[in-house]
Amino acid sequence: MELYVAALGFGLISASVIAIAAVGFTMQFGITNMINLAYGEVMMVSGYAAFYVNQAGVNIWVAMIAGALAGAALSYLLNRFLYTPFQRKGTNLIGMVIISLAASLMIANLMLPLVGYDTSSYVIDQGQLLRWNGLVLTAAQIAIIVVAAILMAAIHGLLTYTRLGKAMRATAANPTLARNCGIPTQRVISVVWLITGALCGVAGVVAGMDSENFSVASGAGYLITIIAAAVLGGAGQPYGAMIGALIIGLVTELSAAAIAPEYKQVVAFAILVLVMVLRPQGMLAKRGALAAAG
Amino acid sequence: MRIQNVSSSPDRALLAASDVYRHFDGVLAVDGVSIEVPKGKITGLIGPNGAGKSTFLAVLAGTLPASGGRIIFDGQDVTRTPAYARARRGLVRTFQLPSEFARLTVLENLLVAGPHNRGDSLWGALLGKSYWIGDERRLVDQARGLLKRFGMTAKESDYAGTMSGGQKRLIEIMRALMLEPRVLLLDEPMSGVHPSIVVEIQHYLQELRTEGLTILMVEHELHLVEELCDSVTVMAQGKVIGTGTMAYLRQQKEIVDAYLVG
Amino acid sequence: MNSYYAATLAVYAGVDIIACIALNLQFGVSGIVNFSFIVFQAAGAYTAAVLSMPPDNAYGGYQTYIGGLQLPFPMPWIGGAVVGGLLAIPVGLVVLRKLRTDYQAISLLVLSVIANSVITNARAFLNGAAGIAQVPGPFSDQVDPLAQSYQLLYVALTVPCVLLVWWVASRIVNSPFGRSLRAMREHEVAATAIGKNPVQLKMTVFIVGGVIAGLSGAILVGYIAVWAPSVWLYPETIILFAAVIVGGRGNNVGAILGALLVPVGFEEATRMMPPTIGGWVPPPNLIPAMQWVAIGLLIIGFLWFRPEGVRPEPRRVFEGAPVREDPERVLKS
């Protein structure tokens, strides 16, 4: 029984990591209608950016900012110089998926000669071990959960209370109408990529903190759980992604305790398949997997 | 071109919808619509933007499933029948936005719609040309006949994607006719089409009616509706608000207020 | 050119051509973005391996795997093809029915990653990460596998398979059935409106492609005698996509061209590279990494500049057609 309570704790951390990533991912989908398969690699690059800053003696929590900046910059460049030109050209959804896949491959393989094939780890002070009713978490792990909560609240605040947030939601719902209402959709889209890129960056660093080590190959692994969480919650729905992340995080950790840790991704995949078969639009989406025959 | 005869009393409804509903994005796009499409006539479906006409047409054709209600085609309940099966039975639709097969030639666009082609299956394909060439030649003749009738013979080997808007419209109509349909559902066939082609299409539709084809047409241009349609159904906000001839409808104040101008 | 090298090149080319023809049927002709293609090749390879190997307690039991039936040629190859097709059934039924195309694509991509992970971890099934080694090739008990004559024999076995696959694919593509597939690719909803059943069409092509992919795996494993998860990671599918995009979508000649230009061409081009460039020795893993970058660039470059590929889908002109009055109007994809 203790095993499961501990797994619950891990599940919360997992959910936090996934949530930060999935919200960014799903917002990119919501605003540009494309599945950015390079997302996992951007996370990995950001993780390494923070790594080098960390190696230079900076505390990992401060180095996280470097990760956020790297993620924001790379995501913005990716959208500006690769995705947008192809979309302007009229490339269909499938073409965009193939292009983002090609981009992910290039990013990963450009990183390999730079950082090598070996795994790396952050220098991180885990802090005190805190126990509560069978939950055992270090201070650092709790801090991760807190960071996730703060970011989720920030996103909620952004979307609900700010002009930018409203512009974002309008552009996501109906870009033509938004433009006709005077919203500078191109700029809104760029800002969304910067913000979601920063989320992606933070997610990459936090993911590196949560696992013992990471490498260039970690990028692809992140992507699967993120896609599962985003689809579960409803494509393009940030709140759905948060719920999806919570479910995926908890279920994968609990099943890892119940079955075996190597199959965590398989469980996430199984959830993805179930959602696709039973309710492709996810929990919250109005349009989503069933939208206009692609 | 052969129009299949359906033996029945003259004004029997070949296609009927009974209390059809369709949810979309949490809204009732089609809200309890019933309609009867009499055989051998052109029926118009008009209404303001957002009335649900195109959605209703899609539900009739099976492209969208109905959330409630029944659709009866030639006496059979086809509510659960998928779109492709309805097309094979003779209930064929066209689309509002251009939907030609762009990287197929004009002739291929027509040929692919031809039913009863032995080569149109995996085994037929593997058995080779000698097995299906007979059917293919028959369909080529049929298609070329349509191309000639609609004046597009010269474009036979051009890619359909390079055709003009009006030509794409014609291709879609010809493609539908290859199926020898019994009911044709036209979704704004004149929209975005050059006025000279509009006159042509009008002419073809009248010919087809004379030959016995049943047509239901969603259309915005009221003067066209007046000239072509034997009866008209008016929709607004997902519901039917009136049915009859245009002359009759013009006398109904609510309908004039809701939609008709002048 | 030494004959071992020539034979190896011929076998690899044959396998790649077969794989590209299959992927072209699914993607180029029918518009199914099968990002899990490599899994079907792997299924064929594993099947051929466990059908042709002795039981796993032979050789002192250092590998564990199911099967071990020691069947003679051509059973392993037939088995590989059949399993490739069988695997396509559940995968196709789950993924190809109601989802929009980009969701289909990512589901298949995720499947590819997960399948590799599961096989790696389930050691008892197919010997996990180490994979299966010492796979006997066809007739290897009668002809010494190390002899030059065996190399020629293998090429002689591969070539008819290539021709058979090409024949099947040609019949499909150049038939009314192929035309229906292309129509579905162009506009699936309009295809249903003219009576085409998209699920049936997609499942058929998915299964046929799976059979051919399985065959390609069986041929390959008999030649290289090993098969492990590291051989069939998800990016391997992307190389084949690059090949089909570069060579030309929707036609078999384009698929063959793509197979020769990309997987074969790449392998050979990098073999030719000198070990040092002006005195600088590149680190050992740089070349493979740069190959992947080049693959990515090829895909993006061709999709931008020439999406129809080096050899585009040919225009079908029927006998008795009037002479076309307009100048050649090429339709960009």
What would the pLDDT profile of B37-91 be if each residue is shown by its tens digit?
Answer: 999 999 999 988 878 899 999 999 999 999 889 999 988 999 999 999 999 999 9
Cα B196 to Cα B183: distance, rounded to the nearest angstrom: 26
Cα C84 to Cα C209: distance, rounded to the nearest angstrom: 8
Confidence (pLDDT) at B125: 96
Residue C149 DSSP SS3: helix
Helix axes C235-247, C252-259, angle to 10 degrees: 120
Q: Which residue of B has its CA nearest to A288?
A: B25
Task: Decide if pLDDT at A274 tops 80.
Answer: yes
| B25/A287 Cβ within 8 A | yes
Q: Give the start-to-end residue ranges of the domains of chain B.
A: 13-100+181-258, 103-162
Does C149 contact A at CB distance below 8 Å? no
Confidence band of A42 (pLDDT split at 50, 70, 90): very high
Residue type, A144: I
The C-alpha angle A29, A30, A36, rounded to 5 degrees, equals: 10
Q: Could you tell me if residue C258 is inside a domain?
A: no
How close are the terminal C-alpha atoms of chain C, in Å? Answer: 40
- Using CA atoms in the order A172, A177, A181, A183, what is the torsion angle rounded to 10 degrees? 30
Topology of domain B13-100+181-258, per CATH? Rossmann fold (3.40.50)
Does A174 contact B at CB distance below 8 Å? no
Q: Give B25's contacts in chain A (Cβ within 8 Å).
A: 286-287
Does A286 contact B at CB distance below 8 Å? yes
State the chains in contact with C (3 or more Cβ–Cβ pairs under 8 Å): A, B
Confidence band of C56 (pLDDT split at 50, 70, 90): confident
- Residues, chain A: 294
Confidence band of C168 (pLDDT split at 50, 70, 90): very high
Does C145 contact B at CB distance below 8 Å? no
Bond into C74 cis (ω within 30):
yes
| B120/C192 Cβ within 8 A | no
pTM for this model (two decimals): 0.90
> Range with the lowest mean pLDDT among A140-144, B70-74, C60-64, C182-186?
C60-64
| C303/A91 Cβ within 8 A | yes
Mutate to test the interface with A, among C27, C100, C291 (most CBs of A within 10 A): C100
Return the closest-CA partner of residue B255 out of B59, B51, B57, B58.
Answer: B51
Q: Give C107's contacts in chain A (Cβ within 8 Å).
A: 272-273, 276
Segment B3-21 shows an average pLDDT of 64
Q: Give C168's contacts in chain B (Cβ within 8 Å).
A: 126
User: Any idea what DSSP says for residue B238?
Assistant: T
Does C270 contact A at CB distance below 8 Å? no
Please count the other Cβ atoms lying within 10 Å of the Cβ belonging to residue C213.
Answer: 34
Q: What φ, ψ does residue C82 adopt, rounded to 5°?
A: -65, -45
Domains and CATH numbers, chain A: 2-278 (1.10.3470)
| C-alpha of B78 from chain center | 17
Cα A204 to Cα C211: distance, rounded to the nearest angstrom: 40
Task: Measure C170 CA to nearest chain B CA, in Å.
Answer: 9
Residue type, A36: N
A104: left (phi over 0), alpha (psi -120 to 50) or beta: alpha
- Residues, chain C: 333
The CA radius of gyration of chain C, in Å to the nearest whole number, is 21
Task: Decide if pLDDT at A257 tops 60.
Answer: yes
Return the closest-CA partner of residue B174 out of B218, B221, B113.
Answer: B113
Bridge partner residues of A224 (DSSP): none
Confidence band of C192 (pLDDT split at 50, 70, 90): very high
State the chains in contact with A (3 or more Cβ–Cβ pairs under 8 Å): B, C
CB-defined contacts B:C, below 8 A = 142
* Helix ranges, chain B (H): 53-61, 83-89, 106-113, 122-127, 129-149, 165-178, 195-210, 222-228, 246-250, 253-258
* Percent of chain A topping pLDDT 70: 96
Q: Give C102's contacts in chain A (Cβ within 8 Å).
A: 34-35, 93-94, 96-97, 294
Q: Give C94's contacts in chain A (Cβ within 8 Å).
A: 273, 276-277
> Range with the lowest mean pLDDT among B250-259, C83-92, C165-174?
B250-259
Decide if C54 contacts C68 (C-beta within 8 A): yes
Contacts of C76 (CB under 8 A, 6+ apart): C47, C48, C49, C51, C52, C138, C218, C222
Q: Where in the sequence is the domain holding C156, given as residue range(s)?
A: 3-232
The CA radius of gyration of chain B, in Å to the nearest whole number, is 19
Segment C260-271 shows an average pLDDT of 84
Mutate to test the interface with B, among C166, C170, C172, C194 (most CBs of B within 10 A): C194
Cα C41 to Cα C237: distance, rounded to the nearest angstrom: 10
Please count the other Cβ atoms lying within 10 Å of the Cβ belonging to residue B32.
Answer: 14
Segment C120-140 shows an average pLDDT of 87
Return the closest-CA partner of residue C260 out of C247, C242, C245, C273.
Answer: C247
> Range with the lowest mean pLDDT among A266-270, C10-14, C226-230?
A266-270
Contacts of C210 (CB under 8 A, 6+ apart): C22, C40, C43, C84, C85, C86, C87, C88
Confidence band of B260 (pLDDT split at 50, 70, 90): low
The C-alpha angle A190, A36, A230, rounded to 5 degrees, equals: 105
- State how many domains chain C has: 1
Stretch (H or E) spanning B20: strand B13-24
Task: Decide if pLDDT at B10 tops 60.
Answer: no
Cα B147 to Cα B158: distance, rounded to the nearest angstrom: 13
Confidence (pLDDT) at A139: 85
Confidence (pLDDT) at C325: 63
Residue A283 DSSP SS3: coil
Confidence band of C327 (pLDDT split at 50, 70, 90): low
User: Any idea what DSSP says for residue A214?
Assistant: B
Mutate to test the interface with A, among C114, C118, C202 (most CBs of A within 10 A): C114
Q: Give C121's contacts in chain A (Cβ within 8 Å).
A: 260, 262-263
What ipTM was estimated for this complex? Answer: 0.90
User: pLDDT digits over B138-180, tens only?
Assistant: 999 999 999 998 889 999 999 999 999 889 999 999 999 999 9
Output A7 or B86, whichever has higher pLDDT: B86
| Strand B13-24, strand A135-138: pairing | unpaired
